[in-house]
Amino acid sequence: MFSFISNLKTEDKPILIAASFILVILAVGTGYTLATQGTVPLLSATYLLQQLQTGAFLGIVAAGMMIVILLGNIDLSVPWTMTAAAMMAATVGGELAVPAGLAVGLAVGLLNGFGVAFLRIPSMIFTLGVDSVMRGLMVAHTGGFAPADQATDFMRFLASGKLVGIPVAIFIWGIVSVVIAVGLKRTAFGREIYATGNKEAAAFLSGVKTRRVIVGSFIISGLCSGLAGVLLAGYSAKAYQGMGNPFLLPAIAAVVIGGTRILGGQGRYLGTLVGVILIVLLNSVLSIMQMPEAGRQVIYGSVIVGMLLVYGRNAKVSA
């Protein structure tokens, strides 16, 4: 077993480890529910589909976050990008609700990309500032109260509806996943992301338009956050203050757990996908065990720090 792991490619090891932890979480959760409730809901198809449905929101956010982290950057504007997209979609309503939410994500991504690529401000600082700006704008928009606008029927269908017995949100997550995975592996833009993440100066000297790559990556992250915000509003049937706050740390944790180097240049989308499933199931089991939110945040933070110690200290290699 250990020789098998040692023979794996560097980027495959975190995926295998994360998949192993998923099995451990399922075993622990099943044992706990069997001992306390006499049932095993974690293994039922209905329960797993429900978890994947709610996990789709995190999965979409994590997909965009991975693109930015591959560059060695980070997007801390996710919480209020999601919230602003949800609020504006609910405010506009009608057929333009979803486009309005996506437009918010696009605008925030473009602003983040411009600040990091052209103004050369560290992404951690700039995106955190943008997050505060979005929070202020939304507080001004609502007057400090919860918005009265409700999600449209189409938003509710996208988040809570079903096709052939499978939640539509899972299909949307699947489409986003295919686009991201194929884009990273099969397109010139994907190769440019890896090259820029490995060494921006070298990529620039080799002809890569690194500023365009950085702006494009932040736009993708913004669009993913906007889409997730719209879906979350549809799932909740309304938009509300701070609805995106619980998604930042889990999204970063999912990306890092999946083996994407926080310093950029290496990572596979399959790893992020496995990381999201691990986080979703971990959160589910912690909820069953009635773990308070504070404890969950401690666990997420510990996971990120632990993975940084494992991956962040290694030399970056090309994916």
Task: Report which of 242, 248, 249, 217 is spatially closest to residue 134, judged by C-alpha positions.
Answer: 242
Write the DSSP assignment of 147-189 as a string of letters: --PBPPHHHHHHHH-EETTEEHHHHHHHHHHHHHHHHHHHSHH
Residue 200 in tokens: 């921006």
* CA 107 – CA 244 distance, rounded (Å): 17
CA 306-299-302 angle, 5° bins: 20
Altogether, the residues listed in the chain come to a count of 319
CA 58-52-98 angle, 5° bins: 55
Q: From the DSSP assignment, how many helices (H) and strands (E) are in the chain?
A: 14, 2
Q: State in Å, rounded, how far the first CA of the chain is from the last one.
A: 24
pTM > 0.85: yes or no: yes
* Structural domain includes residue 3: no
Domain range enclosing 108: 13-27+45-312
CATH code at position 175: 1.10.3470
| 8-state DSSP, 118 | T
Per-residue model confidence (pLDDT) at position 15: 84
* Structural domain includes residue 306: yes
* CA 188 – CA 44 distance, rounded (Å): 41
* Structural domain includes residue 37: no
* CA 229 – CA 235 distance, rounded (Å): 10
* CA 247 – CA 311 distance, rounded (Å): 22
Q: At what angle do helices 248-257 and 45-69 cross, to 10 degrees?
A: 80
* Structural domain includes residue 137: yes
Q: Stretch 66-82: mean pLDDT, rounded? A: 96
Per-residue model confidence (pLDDT) at position 315: 43
Residues 186-235: pLDDT tens digits?
999 999 999 999 999 999 999 999 999 999 999 999 999 999 999 999 99
Per-residue model confidence (pLDDT) at position 8: 54
* Structural domain includes residue 193: yes
* Structural domain includes residue 318: no
Q: Which amino acid is at 193?
A: I
* CA 232 – CA 30 distance, rounded (Å): 28
How many separate domains does the chain show? 1
Q: Stretch 260-285: mean pLDDT, rounded? A: 90
Residue 221 in tokens: 């992250």
**Percent of the chain surpassing pLDDT 70:** 90
Residues 135-161: pLDDT tens digits?
999 988 887 666 667 889 999 999 999
**pLDDT band, residue 285 (cuts 50/70/90):** confident
More confident residue, 24 or 269: 269
* Structural domain includes residue 34: no
The answer to whether the beta carbons of residues 224 and 95 sit under 8 Å apart is no
Per-residue model confidence (pLDDT) at position 4: 43
In sign, the C-alpha dihedral spanning 5, 6, 9, 13 is positive
Per-residue model confidence (pLDDT) at position 291: 79
The answer to whether residue 25 scores a pLDDT higher than 60 is: yes
The answer to whether residue 260 scores a pLDDT higher than 80 is: yes
The answer to whether the beta carbons of residues 126 and 137 sit under 8 Å apart is no
Average pLDDT, the chain: 87
Question: Within the chain, what is the greatest distance between any pair of CA atoms?
Answer: 63
Q: Which amino acid is at 8?
A: L
More confident residue, 296 or 183: 183
The answer to whether residue 261 scores a pLDDT higher than 70 is: yes
Q: Stretch 35-61: mean pLDDT, rounded? A: 84
Residue matched to tokens 């529910």? 33
Gyration radius of the chain's alpha carbons: 19
Range of lowest pLDDT (29-38, 102-111, 243-252, 253-262):
29-38
Per-residue burial over 20-44, b if 16 or more Cβ lie within 10 Å, else e, is ebbeebbeebbeebeeeeeeebbee
* Structural domain includes residue 38: no
Q: Which neighbouring-strand residues pair with 167?
A: 162
The answer to whether the beta carbons of residues 18 and 273 sit under 8 Å apart is no
C-alpha torsion angle, residues 167, 89, 71, 247 (rounded to 10): -60
Per-residue model confidence (pLDDT) at position 40: 67
